[in-house]
Amino acid sequence: MTDFRQEFLAFALARNVLRFGEFVTKAGRRTPYFFNAGLFNDGVSLRALGRFYAEAWLASGVAADQLFGPAYKGITLAAATAIALAEMGRNVPYSFNRKEAKDHGEGGVIVGAALEGRVLIVDDVITAGTSVRESVDLIRAQGAVPAGVLIALDRMERGQGEASAVQEVRDAYGIPVVAIATLDDLMRFIAGRPDLEAWQPAVGAYRDRYGAQ
């Protein structure tokens, strides 16, 4: 596990974004861990999160010309990632969409840079894939090319079928999905932390029961 993945999970744990206990997912599954990216909700957290997103993208090797943040969560994530990249010496444009088009001022549904070239979608997680589908359609409608999706955590668990939500996006659109960390990374993280080792059997059992192949 590379340093930034380990650092990200440790940071998420410290910020209470990553928690261990007994939780129920939206799908009704009992899970021993919970990840809520919405709790990265202050300046220090957002600055660090942007750096982790930037590092994950640069480490992935996925080629892209700009960032796109789907409304609403993706807006701040794309902006934070763009700032972090600029601090690393890589200045890339970014944009986001409105939920409803404006008919005055600059108009339209896109705010920020015009969608051109290869566009990387930045979001928190992929669940049903609705946000990705809407983003892909919007990017293509503007004549640009969706280059991939960048997310915080890949839970690596099955959706409605045998594949995970991330795998379904890859298969449906033929684009890569890059995660700062995955469930496999999380399991290795737990194994390396004496204070969390007690959760290893429960997380492993959850992976065995609900994990995608």
Specify the pLDDT at position 109.
Answer: 87
Q: What is the per-residue pLDDT across 97-136, written as a single tens digit (0 to 9) for each?
A: 987 765 544 557 899 999 999 999 999 988 767 788 999 9
Handedness of CA 49, 52, 58, 62 (dihedral sign): negative
Tell if the pTM clears 0.85, that is, is over it.
yes
> Which of 56, 41, 48, 27 lies closest to 185 in space, CA to CA?
56
Tell me what percent of the residues of the chain surpass a pLDDT of 90: 78
Residues carrying an active site annotation: 102, 104
> Each residue of 16-38: pLDDT tens digit?
999 999 999 887 889 999 999 99
Whether residue 203 contacts residue 189, with contact meaning beta carbons closer than 8 Å, is answered with: no
Give the tens place of pLDDT for each residue, 34-68: 999 999 999 999 999 999 999 999 999 999 999 99
Domain that holds residue 44: 3-210
> Domain tally for the chain?
1
Give the CATH number, domain containing residue 203. 3.40.50.2020
14 has a pLDDT exceeding 50: yes
Mean residue pLDDT across the chain: 92
Query: What's residue 195's pLDDT?
Result: 95
Q: What angle do CA 82, 144, 142 make, to 5 degrees?
A: 105
